[in-house]
Structure formats: structure tokens, C-alpha cells
Structure 1
């Protein structure tokens, strides 16, 4: 369901691997290949970044929630993608390597889009999040899961090194010792461990309870100024990759241009009048 006519035009694409809805400033992306354990076929790697960037460009949502269908969140990269990549291992070695590098960069971009969009991305995980699914959820702002959830850096057991973001993002989310253990062994990482080590925010009894709770959090985000929330995401991502001194300097520069009074006045007035605040959306992104 879309909250207005413009949202439909912003998301005109017919997705093979996703269902998308926008309501009350919350975009909900659902992985919808449960019979195939939501494995990531070639179309998925194009559709996910296209979808999240269309949502961002439309400025109709202030937060994105990603969930899934069936027993497992995702079994990771589909075998067909590996097969297609193997078929390209031919030709002059340096040119073959250059083509492979571009392919990996394109796959990485599919998940980097989750970090690059202006709005927070929350992900709700049930069952297994395996291989590429760990790459994906590591790029989200916050993670939530069910009791039966587990996580696996499966690539190691398949004779390859995870290459789409897990090894770059997990060290910012977990201790290096735990990350190395998970990467070197490829063992399952349970929901209890994930909660203990801060990889997930909360663990729920079942998917229904989890989705209700995550949507409640998304609603709390969506009532805030989209400028303020976007600024939070920008600053947190920058601080992760830079020194405190550089991050403070970046914050001061950002604030000198982005700090304006209309949203502050509206937030204060809404609080005094005990009503929901009403903020202008971010500007749409032009093509």
C-alpha cells in the first residue's frame, strides 16, 4: 500500500525478488522468495539498490524496514550467481581479473546503498541469515531478530573469502576476536550470542512480535524531523570511519549549513501543544 500517488511513480519498477510498500512515512521492503529461502539471485543484486535509492529519491519515507518471508531470512547468494561468475573465468588473465573486480564492486554497491541513503534502515531477521545475508544486514543501521535466528559467514566453508562487506563492517559492530572467529570457522552465530555481543538490538519470540516492535521503532523515527534524522545518520557513518577530531570538524561544518530554525520551532511547538509535529519532507533527488 502506498501513502500517496507520487510514491507509486517513484517506485514504478516491478520487482522479482521484493515487495515494497510505503505508509505513514515508513517504507517496508520484503524479500519474497520463501520457497527458495530468499536466496539472492542476479535480479536481487540489481533490485535492492534500485529500490532503496528510489525510496530515498522520492523523499516519501523517513525510515526503511527490511523483513523477509518463510522460514529463513536469506540463504545468501544463489548458486546461479556463482555459476554465472564461474563461466566468466576465461580469456586473458589481466582482463579477466579486471572484469571480476568490476563484478565484485557492483555486488558491494548493492549493500553500500543501504548506508548511502539518507534514511535509517532497520532489518528484521528470522531463521538463517547466511553468507551474503550477513553482508547485507551489516550495512543496515539496526538489526532485530527472532529466537531461532542465526548468522553464518558461510563463504569460508565454501572455499572463498567473504567479499561484499561482512569483513569490512563487522569489525565496527563486534569485537575483532569474535569477528575473526566467525570468519575463520564459518560457524553459526546464535541469536543469544548476537544479542550478547551487541550485533542485534533485541531478540523476539516470533516474527509477528518482532515486526510489530520494529514497526513501532520505525514510527518513532518517522515522527522526528527528517533533516535531524538524516544528519544523525550522516554523522554516525562519518564518525565510524574517521577520527574524533575530524568528525567534530565535519559536524561543525554540517551544522553551519544544515541547522535551521523551522524544524526546531515545530518540534518545540508540538511538544508544548501536545500534538504530533509536522515537518516538511526532504527535497526529492533529481535524476
Structure 2
């Protein structure tokens, strides 16, 4: 499938999604909301992919929601108000799906962020597994600045990543949150000097992940994601059942043999 909002490529078990509308600050137009679920469906259907890197182009990772697109969703058609609100609720659910698709992707997703990551951009990267940023990157929970409640994922996912007091400050004030502070709070795994080195570091990390057992990596992500809604006891039971079901192939034997021989194991792809 051809995409209009980003470039998409796959090489050496790594999928690369690169936002490609720098002249529009990579704002999220109607096509973005349609194409992100489509590309992640393509990724999940490609058993050779073991990691995903998301990067961008131009000055900013993304300036967030395209306001023209947002305005069109708020137009009333003069009909019944209750029906209009039900339609808007379905519109919000439609906009939640792209980032749900990122979160649910069976392989790890790494974001390489440069410049501004604003509004919907924060929703986007909080759905990723790992975030790397350039020294000039910054984040803004922008929705308060246009008098709305963030509604496509930030307020639901960021509590698993940051302390409550900081989350509330950022969400209530809409202030810029810079790379150094984001790294100190653990939101960014690493800060690199510039966009090129950030992307290079993300690709290097993706390559390291791609060398591991893809079945074990998929299991780790599934267990971690499921554990967000479980008690410790429930999580322990879940991982016990997962391993009882999944540790039946060759991956563990190959990994142990490679460790003993100081070599590197090769693993089969997942099944589409």
C-alpha cells in the first residue's frame, strides 16, 4: 500500500515509518488517522518484522492534530443534538484507533523524536515501547491550550510512565517539557545530540532487539501490556500460562547453546 503521510520501508527485520510532511510540520491530517492503523496492520501481517522505528523529518517530529481536520469534526449539521454528540463520540473512537494499533503491535516500537512533539504527538509516542530524543526535542500536552481534554491516549498511557504530580502539571499547564527533564524522569530512554544520531541510535537498538528470539520478545511485550491492568498475582499467573504455552519450540535451546558456545543464535520468524 502507498502512504501519503509517511515513508515506509522494511529491511533486516526492521520496519521504518518516517513522517514525511515537514512543510506542514507533520501535522496529523485525515490521511494520517487512516494510514497509521493500515500500516500497523501491514506490520502485524509481515512475520519477518521484529521491531519498528518511528521517526520524522524537518524541524519538528509533529505539531499534532491538523486544526482544519479538527474543525471539520466539530461542525454541527443542524440536526438533533443528541445524535450529533453520538456521532462525535464515534469520531473520537476513530481517532483513538491509530495509537491503539501502535500499542497493540506485537513487536517493539521505538520512537526517534526531534524538535517539537506536540498534542497528538504525545499520544503517539506514549503508545510506543521506547522513546529516544534529540537534545532539542520537547513535548507539550497541547490540548489544554485549545481548551479540550486530551482524548486519544495520553491521559490513559502516561500514568504508566511518569509520576502523577508531573503528569497533572503538564496536562493542566500545557507547558513545554524539554529533553533533559524528560530523560531525568525516565520518559526518554536516551538523549542524543541531533536528529540523525537519534535515528541511528533507534536503528541500532532495533537491530539488537531483532537479533533476539521474536517469540520471546512478543511474549515480553504481551505480558508487560497485560500487566498494566492486573495485580501482581494475576500477572504472575498470566506469565506462567504464557510460558507454559509458548516455550515449546527451538528458541530456548538455540539461545542456551549460543550462550554456552559464546556464539549468536539465529531464530525463525514469527508466523503471520
* 1:155 equivalent among 143, 150, 155: 143
Q: Which residue pairs with 1:98 in the alignment?
A: 86
Q: Which 5+ residue runs of structure 2 have no aligned equivalent?
A: none
Tell me, yes or no, if structure 1 residue 117 matches structure 2 residue 82: no
Distance change >3 Å, CA 249–CA 89, structure 1 → 2: farther
Q: Which residue pairs with 2:213 in the alignment?
A: 225
Q: Which residue pairs with 1:281 in the alignment?
A: 269
- d(CA) in 2 for partners of 1:276 and 1:51? 31
- d(CA) in 1 for partners of 2:147 and 2:158? 20
Deviations 1:214-243 (A, max 9, x none): 111111100011100000000011112211
Deviations 1:178-233 (A, max 9, x none): 00000000000010110111111000111111111111111110001110000000
Q: Which residue pairs with 1:166 in the alignment?
A: 154
- d(CA) in 1 for partners of 2:117 and 2:77? 28
Q: Which residue pairs with 1:15 in the alignment?
A: 3
Q: Which residue pairs with 1:175 in the alignment?
A: 163
Instruction: Report which stretch shifted further, 49-58 or 275-284.
Output: 275-284
Instruction: Report which stretch shifted further, 257-266 or 143-152.
Output: 257-266
Q: Which residue pairs with 1:3 in the alignment?
A: none
Q: Which residue pairs with 1:73 in the alignment?
A: 61
- d(CA) in 2 for partners of 1:106 and 1:88? 18
The 5 A counterparts of 1:1-287 are: 13-88=1-76, 90-284=78-272
Measured on the aligned residues, the alpha-carbon RMSD in Å equals 1.1
Q: Which residue pairs with 1:10 in the alignment?
A: none
SS of residue paired to 1:241: coil
Q: Which 5+ residue runs of structure 1 have no aligned equivalent?
A: 1-12
Distance change >3 Å, CA 119–CA 165, structure 1 → 2: same
